[in-house]
Amino acid sequence: MTVSLRASDPIVVNVALGERSYDILIGRGQLALLGQKIAALRPGAKVAIVTDENVMRYHLAAAEAVLAAAGIAATSVTVPAGESSKSFPVLERVCEALIAARVERADLVVALGGGVIGDLAGFAAAILRRGLDYVQVPTTLLAQVDSSVGGKTAIDSSHGKNLIGAFHQPVLVLADTALLDTLSPRQFRAGYAEVAKYGLIGDAAFFAWLEANWRDVFAGGPAREHAIAVSCRMKAAIVSRDERETGERALLNLGHTFGHALEAAAGFSDRLLHGEAISLGMALAFRFSAKRGLLPTTMAERVERHLAAVGLPIDISSVPGGVPGPDRLMELIAQDKKVKRGNLTFILARGIGASFIAPDIDAADVRAFLVQQLAER
């Protein structure tokens, strides 16, 4: 299945970071503008496209065609699909391929893919020749609303997710919503978890809108573009105020402390996709908040109902193959990037749209909560 190369007028969201500011263009057919935008941003630059085997089959030829039509020389590097590509061996392979292709500091890397490719290609761009500019062309819902925006790039460690990386902002994000037509229902649902996250963090009205309109978001059209734009605007505003996550930006990790631990426990595999892990993590974060008396249990149940209604997991017992016991999960949680001097930091909530950063959470309380969840679910 290929997508139309006719571009609709995009919704434009600016990420205001001074000299590092850039636009996110949201709408159907935006891939058709790739050559035009790159020629305007970096006249005379060559392009190196980094993609994966799945995305290559659907979208690489179209990307190469629009670059060629703009007179832009391009090369491509294709890696295996999946989280396992966020690793030192694959990073080395990408870097060596870009060097062999004589990619220079004035050239551009294009990350054509989902969150894995965005993280991997962005990190390669951050370190190759001490820094290349790059463009994000996210092909999944999760990447369009979250990982392509904000400049977080990384690979995984055996100790946990995204532990080796750098902040490196793109110069442009082209969020072509037509590319989402090629996603499987499971992949789209997984990305929707990050959309719901924005409502839960700080926009109760948006969460209520999603409860009423999620079917239209899944169906495509204006509702989908609206949901993506609202998500990107919220992330852009937070990143503009706290680029390097020294404060407020940590709110974007709602559900990620529990979720990353579960994702690592599942071996970063198709047993549990990233968005599915975040859905579980958000359900756990709201239950934990209710257990601590921060919000009514009925509010946590409302969050669970919506996530379950769209087909996302909310119970630890739903992870295929099961998860390890509380001690191993606590070991994985202890590797979370928000840990400071050994103290746990969680993103908890006082209500829907009222999340906050909770430092110095007692590890014993978290372990007792996990013991309860593993026993009850």
- Residues that are catalytic: 130, 152, 194, 235, 245, 249, 253, 256, 260, 274
263 closest CA partner among 76, 5, 79, 84: 84
Angle CA(73)–CA(115)–CA(14) in degrees, nearest 5? 75
Residues contacting residue 2 through CB under 8 Å, at least 6 positions apart: 58, 59, 61, 62
Torsion angle, alpha carbons of 183, 189, 191, 195, to 10: 130
Helix residue ranges per DSSP H, 310-347: 326-333
d(CA 175, CA 197): 19
d(CA 118, CA 175): 12
- Going by their DSSP bridges, the two strands 108-113 and 133-138 should be labelled as parallel
CB 86 within 8 A of CB 122: no
85 closest CA partner among 63, 60, 55, 46: 55
- Going by their DSSP bridges, the two strands 47-52 and 74-79 should be labelled as parallel
- Spell 289-306 as b/e; 16+ CB within 10 A means b: bbbeebbeeebbebbbeb
